[in-house]
Amino acid sequence: MKKKLSLIAASVMLMTCLTGCNNYVKLCDYKGVEATNVVYDVTDEEVQEEIEYSMYDYVTYDPITNRGVEEGDYANITYTATVDGETNEDYSTEGEDVLVGEGWTYPELEEALVGMKTGDTKTVEFELTADYAEEEMVGKTISIEVVLNEITVENIPEYNVAFVKENFDYDTLEEYEAYMKESLLASKAEEYKYVAVEEIFSYIIENSTFNGYPDELYEQCEKIYNQNNEFYASMYGMSVEEFLEMSGVDEEMKKEEIEASVNYELVIQEIAKKEGIEVTEKEVTEYIESVYAEYGYESVDDFLVDYTTDEVKSELVYQKVSDFLYENASLVDMSEEDFLAEQESADTEGVEISGEEEGDVEIIEDTEDIEDTEE
């Protein structure tokens, strides 16, 4: 699956209009804005955790044909559910992988799978509970006819010198682990710089004065807003309408979020104009050539089917403005431990508010989180 280009800025096509006639925003003082500088390091434990995580890229799943299912096996199953005497497609599935013993499906079904062999069929009945059913189905008896398609076991390769030499071209574990540490340091540097940049943008937007916006810019931001929702909905296997309903987004909230994006765009373009920040066609070409493979495309031409050069140019304008603001910010040191504790506290408060007022659904908000899952 292809990764999604961030495209935070999207209004290059409007720069001609905004340049020289941008009366839509009066910027506050955007230099010297205070922002958090997270002081971080990478521990040996973090390196080992990352290595363990990366080993899953080399996992194989070996079929088992000489015994029945045991806890810890992956069971590929197809089952048909009957409720109130009728087949219920919503509670039926085909070709689902279940890690037996991990609570991935109904406990009664997992228990029934133990001992089954490939090709076996079994029927199990039980009462639906709130953990596994919608409210109107709770308490009803469900009958499931399950077919065991395949049993596999997870085979994680051993982490040793031979593995590192074969797959990463390093002669020693120490060399490979040093490389991993540098990669993690680079990743944290990018992550915490983004934290500071977003604090700076939030301050600027909050303290600047806005006076409307061009309709074309709103329409472009709305287009990208809709595209992002389509992307996230597909990740959850939902329609856009279902995703927005789950997220608690109504028309008023949608308009507010699009207008927030519009203001973000206006700030970016106004700072770019004031500071003479521009992006050349050569920079656009070089950027596309450097990232198309990373985003899952086989060529530049394939990349340009999904993204225009104007969109890429917008992304580069955003990056340059971000770099400028970061380099001219007043950074205040905070330890990584304190920062993470602060974030955890904020997340906990958010969950409590959500649970009391808006329901208990938690939505992934950051594009990179989804991308990380994919990677």
pLDDT at 370 over 70: no
pLDDT at 9 over 90: no
In angstroms, the Cα distances linking 31 to 269, 280, 324, 327 are 15, 25, 9, 9
The secondary structure of 22-84, three-state, reads: CCCEECCCCCCCEEEEEECCCCHHHHHHHHHHHHHHHCEEEECCCCCECCCCEEEEEEEEEEC
Q: Which domains occur in the chain, in start order?
A: 12-43+171-374 (1.10.3120.10), 60-155 (3.10.50.40)
Give the model confidence (pLDDT) of 25-34 as tens digits.
999 999 999 9
DSSP codes joined into one string, 183-247? HHHHHHHHHHHHHHHHHHHHHHHHHSEE----HHHHHHHHHHHHHHHHHHHHHTT--HHHHHHHH
Give the model confidence (pLDDT) of 135-183 as tens digits.
889 999 999 999 999 999 999 999 999 999 999 999 999 999 999 999 9
pLDDT at 16 over 70: no
Q: pLDDT class for 2, splitting at 50, 70, 90?
A: low
CA 19 – CA 13 distance, rounded (Å): 11
CA 320 – CA 312 distance, rounded (Å): 12
CA 176 – CA 168 distance, rounded (Å): 8
CA 117 – CA 67 distance, rounded (Å): 6
Give the model confidence (pLDDT) of 302-343 as tens digits.
999 988 998 899 899 999 999 999 999 999 999 999 999 999
CA 133 – CA 115 distance, rounded (Å): 26
Give the model confidence (pLDDT) of 35-72 as tens digits.
999 999 999 999 999 999 999 999 999 999 999 999 99
**How many Cα atoms are found within 13 Å in the side-chain-facing hemisphere of 287?**
20
CA 212 – CA 245 distance, rounded (Å): 29
Give the model confidence (pLDDT) of 215-236 as tens digits.
999 998 999 899 899 989 898 8
- 98 neighbors 152 (Cβ within 8 angstroms): no
Instruction: Specify the pLDDT at position 15.
Output: 45
CA 25 – CA 13 distance, rounded (Å): 18
Mean pLDDT over 203-212 rounds to 96
pTM: 0.72
With 0-12 / 13-18 / 19 or more C-beta atoms within 10 angstroms meaning exposed / middle / buried, residue 170 is middle
Beta-carbon contacts of 316 under 8 Å, excluding residues fewer than 6 positions away, are 279, 283, 284, 287
Type and span of the H or E element at 147: strand 141-155
Which of 121-125, 158-162, 252-256, 360-364 has the weakest average pLDDT? 360-364
Instruction: Specify the pLDDT at position 367.
Output: 40
Give the model confidence (pLDDT) of 257-303 as tens digits.
999 999 999 999 999 999 999 999 999 999 999 999 988 899 999 99
